[in-house]
């Protein structure tokens, strides 16, 4: 299969591109290499997947030249590219253009692809709102610009399935952790603070937040399993994550255990739009994709610490 992966220099996108290449597919990765975080980290991810046979194209999906730059014989699209997370430095326009406009541009491109099999949108548990413990048929109540625009992007993709233009599905991911996690995310920050003896910034009350911390390898297992199942998953929204919940405090303690040292904590004011609980309901993923995440929190943290130490 010839597969396009957007956001391929990012955290989960790079792991997925790498896995698809390992499975024998021809993979083209797209990334705009923006400066949301250190470009050297994105370049490191890109170099890593290039070594595994992935072609990487520097391209902004918001541009109008997708048809002239990308091949039109793509079989699958895995769409990771987005303005990520909840950030005080990101404007509404950042979320609007990167999550909605860019997705619409990619949809227009997909409509032009010959013998196109499926568009796989990568969604997020943030679509559900302040609590994400539900089945996929519950009405979303996103509580951030990120969640709102990711829901809109998801619906733009699924619209094409309903119109029978092409087959599509959306995978809502839960609290993914592991090697290559972005530098502003919890575990990379915790590890960096622990190693460098710096205080970790903790939002007030968030130590009690519950999360389905899911190892990136388990997430990728679910993502790539949709290949060949386009008739089965067409039009579906599917949660991917672990059913095991941990508090943020338990996450901190896991890092401390692996590093064998205490981490200094600096408590700051609460952050608006932050989820209080995420617990992946994966009954549909088990049924349709035979999905079965197995990596424990401690195993996940150990993998991430080893990666951090090897690269920084």
List per-residue pLDDT tens for the chain, 312 residues long.
999 999 999 999 999 999 999 999 999 999 999 988 889 999 999 999 999 999 999 999 998 889 999 999 999 999 999 998 877 789 999 999 999 999 999 999 999 999 999 999 999 999 999 999 999 999 999 999 999 999 999 999 999 999 999 999 999 999 999 999 999 999 999 999 999 999 999 999 999 999 999 999 999 999 999 999 999 999 999 999 999 999 999 999 999 999 999 999 999 998 777 788 999 999 999 999 999 999 999 999 999 999 999 999
Could you identify the residue written with the tokens 């087959």? Answer: 167
Q: How many CB atoms lie within 10 A of CB 306?
A: 12
Residues 246 and 40: their CA atoms lie apart, in Å, by: 32
**By the 8 A CB rule, do 81 and 119 touch?**
no
Nearest to 80 by CA among 153, 129, 135, 180: 153
**By the 8 A CB rule, do 235 and 173 touch?**
no
Residues 63 and 59: their CA atoms lie apart, in Å, by: 8
Which structural domains are found in the chain, ordered by start? 2-174+215-240 (3.40.50.720), 177-211+244-279+294-311 (3.90.25.10)
The C-alpha angle 154, 156, 162, rounded to 5 degrees, equals 100
Residues annotated as part of the active site: 146
């Amino acid at each position: 299969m010839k597969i396009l992966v957007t956001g391929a220099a990012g955290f989960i996108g790079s792991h997925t591109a790498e896995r698809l290449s390992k499975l024998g597919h021809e993979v083209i990765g797209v990334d705009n290499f923006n400066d949301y975080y250190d470009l050297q980290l994105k370049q490191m991810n890109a170099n890593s997947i290039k070594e595994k046979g992935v072609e990487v194209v520097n391209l902004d999906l918001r541009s109008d030249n997708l048809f002239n730059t990308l091949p039109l014989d793509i079989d699958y699209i895995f769409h990771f590219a987005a303005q990520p997370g909840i950030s005080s430095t990101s404007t509404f326009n950042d979320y609007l253009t990167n999550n909605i406009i860019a997705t619409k541009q990619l949809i227009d491109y997909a409509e032009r692809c010959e013998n196109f099999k499926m568009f796989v949108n990568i969604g997020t548990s943030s679509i559900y709102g302040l609590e994400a413990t539900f089945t996929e048929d519950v009405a979303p109540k996103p509580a951030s610009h990120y969640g709102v625009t990711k829901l809109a992007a998801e619906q733009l993709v699924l619209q094409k399935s309903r119109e029978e233009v092409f087959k599509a599905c959306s995978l809502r991911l839960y609290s993914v952790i592991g090697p290559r996690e972005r530098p502003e995310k919890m575990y990379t920050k915790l590890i960096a603070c622990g190693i460098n003896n710096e205080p970790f910034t903790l939002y007030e009350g968030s130590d009690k937040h519950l999360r389905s911390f899911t190892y990136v390898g388990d997430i990728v297992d679910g993502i790539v399993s949709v290949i060949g199942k386009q008739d089965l998953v067409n039009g579906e929204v599917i949660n991917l994550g672990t059913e095991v919940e941990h508090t943020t405090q338990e996450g901190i303690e896991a890092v401390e255990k692996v590093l064998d040292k205490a981490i200094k904590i600096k408590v700051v004011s609460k952050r608006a739009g932050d989820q209080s609980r995420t617990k992946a309901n994966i009954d549909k993923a088990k049924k349709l994709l035979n999905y079965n995440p197995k990596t424990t929190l401690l195993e996940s943290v150990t993998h991430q610490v080893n990666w951090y130490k090897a690269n920084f």
